[in-house]
Amino acid sequence: MLGYELSLALRGLRRFPRSTVLVVVTVALGIASCMTSLLLLHVLSGDPLPGRSQHLYLAWMDTLHRPPRVDTSGMALNGVSANTFGYRRLKREDAEALMRGRAGVRQAIVADVLADESTEDGTRHLASQAVLATSSDFVALFGVPLLHGRSWTVAEETARAPVVLIDSDTAQRFYGTVDAIGREIRLGKRNYRIIGVFAPYAPQPHFFGLDVGSFTGNGGENLLVPYTSALANGLMPMTGDGCDAGVDVSQTGASDPAHCASLSLWVQLGTPGQVASYRTYLRAYADDHPGDRGKTTAARYGLYGVRQWLDMNGVVPASARLNVLMASSFLLLCMFNVIGLLTARFLRRSTEIGIRRALGASRLAVFAQHIGEATLVCLAGGLLALPMTELGAWILRRQGDDFSPLVRSDPWMFGALFAIAIVVGMAVGIVPAWRASTVEPGLQVKSE
């Protein structure tokens, strides 16, 4: 029976091709704009490390001896927010003490460093590449996919051993092979031995180094180096959250972790109990190291989960959500439009419906035929929306934001698009189909 209604619906579509095209295009426009904005939001609000991120926490406390601030009124009047804690980073001394105090817990010091990389003879090189200066547990903690070799040991880290891990793209580019174990790479002003190769690793958002950018659409760090040897060789973190008062930054730069808060400390905590206990530990440490605030005021410290950290930093720009709302209201407009067009179209065949009804078709059958027609049109619109969404994604990719290259369609999108098309079809079909089904059988037959 449903087959018959469907065949009637198809026939109906073919009857007025011009208005069918109009409806299909309108639906496609609405769905495509909605999908494009959703796609962007999906890319921006994704989980950077599925399965791991819920156990990762950023540990922080404020131990800086801060210089007095000046002229906050000028900043306020110009809408510049005085974010005094920056990216919640630590001085080296505190980060190392925190790690030592909880030897059983997986922790990693993380900082982004800029460096020129080249092969030993200098024939191949990469200028000003972002490099991750970190500690030995990073690979295990952040799930870096090792292809060859190993990560460095705590002993090597303490000895400031000149060892590095590089990604397979760089290995291929520099040495013509992915297995570059044992080769030397020049980093900044000295040589390092490659002890491991990992598959390109760039979680999005770039949550462990937001100072570099919320997203690393053009590739993340391609090299991991022990922070101890990086610092020993003058490779300083790119940015810092502030330095102790009285430090002459003209000699060391404003991000030397000896005096400036420029190292992030990430901790793996599996259970709420562990989280609570680490928080207590952090607080006790912060109480013992009051920095410039003296013992009287409360300690400033924090333990932030990945989701919370991303939200705190507004990683998903408000404009992305706004776009979704705007596109949804546009879809609503398209839907009202299509409801009107379909009503007009169905009522044009009032005579025909009257005859069907007179011949014994039930109201339900007429309703089903028309809602079927509406759904078919919207499915066709959804199909047309696919290339249009691709076009939208292409436009987004050309926008030059740091997340632009990441905007790609994925299977999730096709599913969502199909679902939206069906829901839209049902929604826009109800009113016109109901109007069509209320056509009185006798009246229409009589009048022609």
Partner 1 sequence: MSLRVMLSTLRRQRLLPALVLLQVAVACAILCNVLFLLWHQLQPMVAPSGVDERGLILIDQLSGDRVWTAPEVRATEAMLRAVPGVRAATAADGLPMVTAEIYVLGLQGPSGAKAGVNAYVGEGLGQLLGVKLVAGRLFSPADYRDEGAKWGVPEPIVITRALARRLFGAASALGQLLHRPDALQGPGYQVVGVVDHLLRNQLGWAVDGKADNTVLLPERVGATPSMSFAVRVDPDHQALAMREIGKAIAAHFADAMQAGMTPQVGSFADRRDAAFRSRRAAAWLFFAVATTVLAVTVIGIMGLTGFWVQRRTRQIGIRRALGARRSQVLREFMLENALIVGAGALLGMALGYAGNLWLMRFYELQRLPWEWLPVGAVAMLLVGQLSAIVPAREAARVPPVVATRSV
Instruction: Select from 6, 16, 19, 146 the one that contacts partner 1 (CB under 8 A).
Output: 19
Using omega within 30 degrees of 0 as the cis cutoff, is the peptide bond preceding 205 cis? yes
E-only strand ranges, 359-447: none
Instruction: Select from 153, 233, 337, 409 the one that contacts partner 1 (CB under 8 A).
Output: 337
Beta strands 163-167 and 190-198, pairing class: parallel
Shortest Å, Cβ 129 to partner 1: 8
Stretch that binds partner 1, among 19-27, 42-50, 151-159, 270-278 (CB under 8 A): 19-27
For 2, the token pair is 């449903």
Stretch that binds partner 1, among 53-61, 191-199, 200-208, 321-329 (CB under 8 A): 321-329
The reply to whether 26 sits near partner 1 by the rule CB under 8 A is yes
d(CA 165, CA 153): 12
d(CA 60, CA 307): 16
Per CB under 8 A, contacts with partner 1 among 100-139 are 114-116, 127-129
Partners of residue 113 on adjacent β-strands: 131, 237
| Residue 281 identity | Y
The reply to whether 231 sits near partner 1 by the rule CB under 8 A is no
d(CA 177, CA 119): 13
d(CA 167, CA 145): 9
The reply to whether 326 sits near partner 1 by the rule CB under 8 A is yes
Q: Give 72 or 158: the residue with its C-beta nearer to partner 1.
A: 72
Shortest Å, Cβ 87 to partner 1: 18
Instruction: Select from 299, 334, 353, 407 the one that contacts partner 1 (CB under 8 A).
Output: 334
Shortest Å, Cβ 187 to partner 1: 10
Total residues contacting partner 1 by CB under 8 A comes to 55
Stretch that binds partner 1, among 98-106, 138-146, 259-267, 393-401 (CB under 8 A): 393-401
Q: Are 100 and 73 in contact (CB under 8 A)?
A: no
Contact map string, positions 414 to 443, toward partner 1, x by CB under 8 A: -----------------x---x--------
CA 307-93-294 angle, 5° bins = 85
Stretch that binds partner 1, among 77-85, 138-146, 290-298, 382-390 (CB under 8 A): 77-85
φ/ψ of 144, rounded to 5, equals -75, 125
The reply to whether 33 sits near partner 1 by the rule CB under 8 A is yes
DSSP string, 90-103: B-HHHHHHHHHHTT
Shortest Å, Cβ 339 to partner 1: 6
The reply to whether 80 sits near partner 1 by the rule CB under 8 A is yes
The reply to whether 405 sits near partner 1 by the rule CB under 8 A is no
d(CA 302, CA 336): 49
Q: Are 380 and 24 in contact (CB under 8 A)?
A: yes
Q: Give 36 or 151: the residue with its C-beta nearer to partner 1.
A: 36
CA 93-99-102 angle, 5° bins = 140
DSSP state, residue 237: B
d(CA 187, CA 231): 12
Residues that bind partner 1 (CB under 8 A): 19, 22, 26, 29, 33, 71-80, 114-116, 127-129, 188, 238, 249-254, 318, 321-322, 325-326, 329-330, 332-334, 336-337, 339-341, 343-344, 347-348, 399-401, 431, 435, 447-448
